[in-house]
Amino acid sequence: MTVYFVHISDTHIGPTEDYRRHGYAPLRCVEKLVDIINELPQRPDFVIHTGDVVSDPSDAAYALASAVFARLEVPIYYVTGNHDNSADIHHFLPMGPKNNVTADRDTLSYVFEVRGERFLVLDARGPDEIDPQGILSAEQIALVHSEANPTGPPLTVFCHFPALPMNSPWFDANMLIQNGMGLHQALLPARDRLRGVFHGHVHQPMQTMRDGIVYTCAPSAFAAFNAWPNSIEDAVMDPDFLPGYSFVHLLPGQTIVHHHTFPRPK
């Protein structure tokens, strides 16, 4: 059976409706994106948001996020980004059916299943001192080892931070999971049933493949970073890239990812 989901990321909703970041209005983009998802010609089974739901964790920002995503006509799931707080996501943002793998409200890690497909959400939010990098705790790595068996249903993994280098000096120095290679090694036994690892954080649609495992990033829902292999400058916003999302097809024996853009509202 086929499962469809929409992958969104890095919405960066602020504490007020007129909040702007990098000159753009994130909430207006999210409102437009919710309308687009509700009107898609193929109804997705769920939406996954791979983190940075808000720009700074506050009750006001999460209340706005909760209100706009409540308009979705399909279930939504969240991943903790470096701008997020896991306890706040637990408190403010309802999700579809899932099984939490920890009782710790400061960690957002869980599994869920849709028509025989298994989905694992990891929390790599580290201490503020390493921000914007991430790190997986020993418990999270152990969870991956327990899930990534050679046999079992098709498996998809969601996290916020990229695990592997991206051949961009600024990204590779600042944006990765510090022990991302440990995650990669833990996933290797499951690569024959692994659909892929889907992440956000770098505000660009991109794919990385290593050892038969594909890592896919969704575009930001409001603004894109610009980073090239030989650039040592900080990543800056690229006005030529529109906000976007990914539409993912999980067919028997095949995975298809379409990246889409939409006009940025004023």
Over residues 97-113, the pLDDT tens digits come to 999 999 899 999 999 99
Q: Which of the four pLDDT bands, split at 50, 70 and 90, describes residue 179? A: very high
Question: 9-59, pLDDT tens digit by residue?
Answer: 999 999 999 999 988 999 999 999 999 999 999 999 999 999 999 999 999
What distance in Å separates the CA atoms of residue 151 and residue 58, rounded to the nearest whole number?
Answer: 42
Give me the residue label for tokens 């030529």: 240
| Mean pLDDT, range 212-227, rounded to an integer | 94
Torsion, Cα of 259, 225, 263, 69 (10° steps): 80
d(CA 35, CA 39): 6
3-class SS shares of the chain: helix, strand, coil, % to 5: 25, 25, 50
Residue 223 pLDDT level (bands cut at 50, 70, 90): very high
Question: 156 vs 99, 112, 191, CA distance in Å?
Answer: 15, 10, 10
74 torsion bin: left (phi>0), alpha (psi -120 to 50), beta (else): beta
Question: What share of the chain has pLDDT > 70, as a percent?
Answer: 100
Q: Is the pLDDT of residue 237 over 90?
A: no
Using pLDDT thresholds of 50, 70 and 90, give the confidence band for residue 233: confident
- Which region among 28-32, 166-170, 197-201, 212-216 has the lowest average model confidence (pLDDT)? 166-170
Mean pLDDT of the residues in the chain:
96
Per-residue pLDDT, averaged over 224-231, amounts to 85
Confidence of residue 145 (pLDDT cuts 50, 70, 90): very high
Report the pLDDT averaged over residues 182-199.
Answer: 98
Q: Where are the alpha helices (DSSP H) in 138-248?
A: 138-147, 169-174, 180-187
Provide the pLDDT confidence category of residue 213 given band limits of 50, 70 and 90: very high
Q: Specify the DSSP class assigned to residue 188.
A: G
Can you give the pLDDT at residue 69? Answer: 98
Q: At what angle do helices 180-187 and 138-147 cross, to 10 degrees?
A: 20
Q: Comparing C-alpha atoms, which of 163, 121, 94 is closest to residue 7?
A: 121
15, 17, 72, 159, 170 from 175: Cα distances, Å: 25, 28, 30, 13, 8
pLDDT at 227: 81
Report the residue count for the chain.
Answer: 266
- Cα–Cα distance list, 248 to 107, 108, 154, 156 (Å): 26, 23, 14, 11
Say what the pLDDT of residue 116 is: 97
**pLDDT score recorded for residue 118:** 98
**Is 85's pLDDT higher than 90?**
yes
Given a cut of 80, whether residue 232 has pLDDT beyond it is no
Q: Is the pLDDT of residue 229 over 90?
A: no
Among 160, 265, 166, smallest CA distance to 218 is for 160
Contacts of 128 (CB under 8 A, 6+ apart): none
DSSP states of 147-162 as a string? Answer: H--SSSS-EEEE-SS-
Q: In whole angstroms, give the CA distance from residue 216 to residue 198.
A: 5
Q: What is the pLDDT of residue 83?
A: 98
Structural domain 3-261, CATH architecture:
4-Layer Sandwich (3.60)
pTM confidence score: 0.97
The answer on pLDDT for 240 being more than 90 is: no
Residue 143 pLDDT class (50, 70, 90 cuts): very high
Are the beta carbons of 241 and 204 closer than 8 angstroms? Answer: yes
**Overall average pLDDT of the 71-81 stretch:** 98
